[in-house]
Chains A and B, each alone.
Chain A
Amino acid sequence: MSTEDLERLRKQQIALARALTQPSTSSPIQEPSLSHLDLEEVARSAETLIRKRLSQTRSALRGTSMLLRDEFAKEFREFASTHFFSGPDAIWRDAIEFSRWLARRRKEPAWLSDLLRWEHERCCWESQRLYFSLFRLRYRVAEWIDGRSDNSRDAPPVLSNQWIFIWRFGHRGGIRAIPRRNVAKPTAQA
């Protein structure tokens, strides 16, 4: 087993990740590291992933899903063929972006737009809540105070370029925002 074998495995994993998550733009046939696989299996796995995303998005947008029924799945499949989100909030990003995408396509009836707007807001709130998780804060507070870690992924996206957020575990608790320029530059993690 050589370094080339490891590099080959790494490239194969990246190609497979692309083929599974972006099947409309990344075909396994054209990818040398995947062309020897059973392409039916790859396609079936990509389909499983879409179904999983559909089921999660149905749960996040329950009202819209109940109203549109089969249409919801049809629309989501079209959306999913060109959109994929990575990371811990991928489920919410799917729901947020799909509700926005659907609202642009379906202007009628008016109550559907209202429902989509409401569900969109609720998903945005759930997504933002991820950034204030207590478990994450436990480890990161000390790092932020020392300026050892960049917390931009923990802060709300809109504000993270400007501010660092500190949760204070004092007897009164509370969140404090301090300007990023006042914090020492983050260094690479070991």
Chain B
Amino acid sequence: MEAVVAVAVAVAVVETKPVPAREPLRSLGVGLGYRPVHRDEIFAHRSSIDFFEIVADHYFSASPPKLAELDLLKSNFPLIPHGLALSIGSADGIDQRYLRDFQCVVDAVRPAWCSDHIAFTRAGGIDIGHLTPLPKTSASLRVIRDNLRRVQDCITTPLLLENITESIRYPEDEYTDAEFLGRICDENDVGLLLDVTNLYINSVNYRFDALEVVRRLPKDRIVQLHFVGGRMEEGRWVDSHDTTTQDEIWQLLEAVLSLAPVKGVILERDEKIPPLKDLIPELERARDLYRHAIPA
């Protein structure tokens, strides 16, 4: 029991140190989305992983061993908490309970930045359990702005928002992809977590030029990238997160790195997760691109 309380108190006493919004973010390098199945391998491959992105939600209901795991990771790697259900586009507003849990993880980790998605996951008391796209309209922008104010009142750590794979497109869209993402970032002083794979998948499924979107984005807002392989199912690309990165996605990643002063790149493998050693070649290739990229 003493040990349990010690862990709880150790987490509880970490104080929040606000990060000034204008302070330049430091470069973290190339890392991996942390998956517990790799826990025993990470120290053997330490030099290949500059930082980890952790799923914040996995620590909301943390058992003492899970908290100890967080402590171990925090002591040895820079960590970036990534939320799944802040539901920043929810017209019902932000769930205060989720926000407090998210804030709690951010306080415990004290990261360079934290992130969630441009989507809604909750409406009318229903937790959809999935990132659902928003119409690109001024009403959505207004909802995002109001919700972000509440988030930024609680969390002073810089926040990034990620573009998702769009399974539904709305005929009432008023903005292009680049305009919508750019406005969200500029109007709310948040960064963009550009998921290169999601952008590629949307560009193929909805027939637009992914690189043109990147060119039209405010480059200094692109702070972090995600990449992973997707797959074709019934004539459409899906973000299966279960395979090695395809050449087309590598090319887009390289192009983004040459255009924007990116601070961190994460390989985001979620399904059919191989041993960590099998992911190292992808990390090394991304690191090579990251090091040699000179943004215009």
Judge whether B135 is part of the interface by a CB distance below 8 angstroms.
yes
Tell me if B124 and A88 are in contact (CB < 8 A).
no
Q: Given the complex, which residues of B lie within 8 Å of A5, measured CB to CB?
A: 137-139
Secondary structure at the B interface, as helix, strand, loop or mixed, is mixed
What class of interface size applies to chain B in its complex with A? 35 or more
Residue of B67, B168, B238 with highest tally of chain A CB at under 10 A: B168
Inter-chain contacts of B120 with A (CB < 8 A): 13
Specify which of A84, A135, A137 lies most central, judged by the most chain B CB atoms within 10 Å of its CB.
A135
Contact (A10, B171) CB under 8 Å given A49-B130, A88-B60, A134-B64: no
Considering only residues 39-82 of chain A, those with a C-beta below 8 Å from chain B are 41-42, 44-45, 48-49, 52-53
Interface residues of B in 152-170 (CB under 8 A from A): 167-170
B128 within 8 A of A: yes
Contact A189 B169 (CB under 8 A): no
Judge if A86 is at the interface, Cβ distance under 8 Å. Answer: yes
A135: which of B61, B135, B139 is its contact (CB, 8 Å)?
Answer: B61
Q: How far is the CA of A173 from the CA of B126 in the complex (A)?
A: 36
A13, A53, A138: the one within 8 Å of B90 (CB): A13
Residue from the set B96, B108, B137, B139 with the largest chain A CB neighbour count within 10 Å: B139
- In the bound assembly, the distance between CA atoms of A20 and B129 in angstroms comes to 10
- The residues of B that contact A135 with a CB separation of less than 8 Å are 11, 59-62, 101, 104-105, 108
A52 to B92 Cα, complex, angstroms: 25
Contact B9 A169 (CB under 8 A): yes
Give the residue among B63, B126, B140 with the most A Cβ atoms within 10 A: B126
- Report the minimal beta-carbon distance from A186 to chain B, rounded to whole angstroms: 14
Cβ B168 vs Cβ A37 within 8 A: yes
A187: interface (CB < 8 Å):
no
30 intermolecular pairs with C-beta atoms under 8 Å apart:
A1-B137, A9-B135, A9-B139, A10-B92, A10-B123, A13-B90, A13-B123, A14-B126, A17-B132, A20-B128, A20-B130, A20-B132, A37-B171, A41-B168, A49-B130, A52-B130, A86-B126, A87-B127, A88-B61, A88-B127, A90-B129, A134-B4, A134-B8, A135-B105, A138-B12, A138-B104, A167-B8, A169-B9, A169-B12, A189-B96
Interface residues of B (CB under 8 A from A): 1-2, 4-5, 7-9, 11-12, 59-64, 67, 90-92, 96-97, 100-101, 104-105, 108, 120, 122-130, 132, 135, 137-140, 142-143, 167-172, 238
**List of 8 A-B pairs having minimum Cβ-Cβ separation, nearest first:** A14-B124, A10-B91, A13-B123, A173-B5, A133-B61, A17-B123, A1-B138, A86-B127
